[in-house]
Amino acid sequence: MRTILITLFTVTLLASCDKNRVYDKNEDFDNGLWPTAVKPSFEFEIKENVPYNIYGNIRNSVSYPFSRLFITYYLEDSTGNVLNKKLIEHTLFDPKTGKPEGTSGLGDIYDHRVPMINNYQFPYTGKYRLRLEQFMRTDSLQGILAAGVRIEKVLNEK
C-alpha cells in the first residue's frame, strides 16, 4: 500500500510541474527509419483563446548520418484548411565537431524540442491537426526514432 501511495504521489507531482502543456505526443518509427511516405499527423483540441508555442519533438540516435534535419510542418484546422506551413531546419549534430546536440536520453539517443511557431493565436477554439514531413534527400531517413508535437500555453508572467 505504501508503494502505491508513493507512486501515485510521484506521478501527481510530475504531472503538476508541466501546467502550460496542452498537448505532447510522439510517433515512433519502425527500425529507426523515417520514410518520406510516413507523415505523422497529430490531432489536438484548443479550448482557450490564448497564445501558444508549438514545438516539434525529435528523437534521434548517433547513427543519424547528417548534421541537420529538415522538416515541413502543416497546421490545419478541423476542415483541412492549411493555416500555417513552413520548412524548418534543426541542427542535430555540431557540423564541425560532430558532437550531438539535444538532451541525452539513454546512451546514444538524443531528444530535441524544435521551435516551430511561437506565440501563435489560433483563430478559434476547437480541433486542429499538425502534420510533419521529413524533407531530406533520402527516401528512408536513418537514425530518426520518433517525431512528435508539443503545444504549450504562453505563460503570462507578471
Q: What is the pLDDT of residue 85?
A: 97
DSSP codes of every residue in 121-146? E-SSSEEEEEEEEE-SSSSEEETEEE
Of the candidates 26, 22, 14, the one whose C-alpha atom is nearest the C-alpha of residue 147 is 26
* pLDDT the model gives residue 18: 76
pLDDT given for residue 101 in this prediction: 87
| Radius of gyration of the chain measured on its C-alpha atoms | 17
What is the pLDDT at residue 19?
85
| Cβ atoms within 10 Å, residue 54 | 24
Domains of the chain plus CATH, in order, are 21-153 (2.60.120)
pLDDT score at 1: 53
Q: Count CB atoms within 10 A of the CB of residue 153.
A: 15
pLDDT in tens, the chain (158 residues): 544 434 444 444 444 457 899 999 999 999 999 999 999 999 999 999 999 999 999 999 999 999 999 999 999 999 999 999 999 999 999 988 888 888 876 789 999 999 999 999 999 999 999 999 999 988 999 999 999 999 999 987 55
Q: For position 103, what pLDDT does the model report?
A: 81
Backbone angles phi, psi at 52, to 5 degrees: -135, 150
